[in-house]
Structure 1
Amino acid sequence: MSETAEKLKLELSQLSAKERAEIAYFLIHSLDDDLETVWDTELSKRLEDINCNTVIGEPIYQVFEELREKYS
């Protein structure tokens, strides 16, 4: 990471949680102007894969159980 970025991180860490949240929101949305379109496209593709049985999902309880085992 650049020296400028490191300095920014240090300065940003001194801000309130609300200010940091506002900056995080700004930064995330500045990554891609078409972010919503990109997500809509990805979600549509995943739904199509599910409906065409080209992917197999896992029950949510199983996913959470695996995560608990891994990170507990």
Structure 2
Amino acid sequence: MDLENLQDAALNLSKADRLRLLQGLILSLDSPSPEELRTEWLDEAERRMRQLDSGAVKAIPGEDVLERARALVR
């Protein structure tokens, strides 16, 4: 299907369906690719590891984090 036919088909959708289509298209432009996400997460993990190794930040045991989170939702 070429672009013109696709546009014609989209314009024949209900207003609600056109809105859903538009939202999906816009989100697809803003979303990073799986490879970009993987690279960003690896970069973040390495940054955090360097902070821990240098002593710039202190690790908090997971159980302490969970306890604090549970206290916040009570």
User: Which TM-score tier does this pair reach, normalised by the shorter chain?
Assistant: 0.5 to 0.7
Query: CA RMSD, aligned part only?
Result: 2.9
**Number of matched pairs:** 50
Identity %: 22
Determine which structure has more spread, i.e. the larger CA radius of gyration: 2
Structure 1 gaps, min length 5: 9-26
Match of 2:53 among 40, 51, 54: 51
TM-score scaled to structure 1, two decimals? 0.56
Give the ranges of 4+ consecutive aligned residues of structure 1 lying more than 6 Å apart after TM superposition: none
Aligned to 1:11: none
Deviation (angstroms), 1:47: 0.6
Higher helix content, 1 or 2: 2
Match of 2:37 among 21, 35, 38: 35
- The AA in structure 2 aligned to 1:56 is K
- The AA in structure 2 aligned to 1:47 is M
The 2-side partners of 1:61 and 1:42 are apart by 23
Structure 2 gaps, min length 5: 1-14, 21-26
Deviation (angstroms), 1:36: 0.6
TM-score scaled to structure 2, two decimals? 0.55
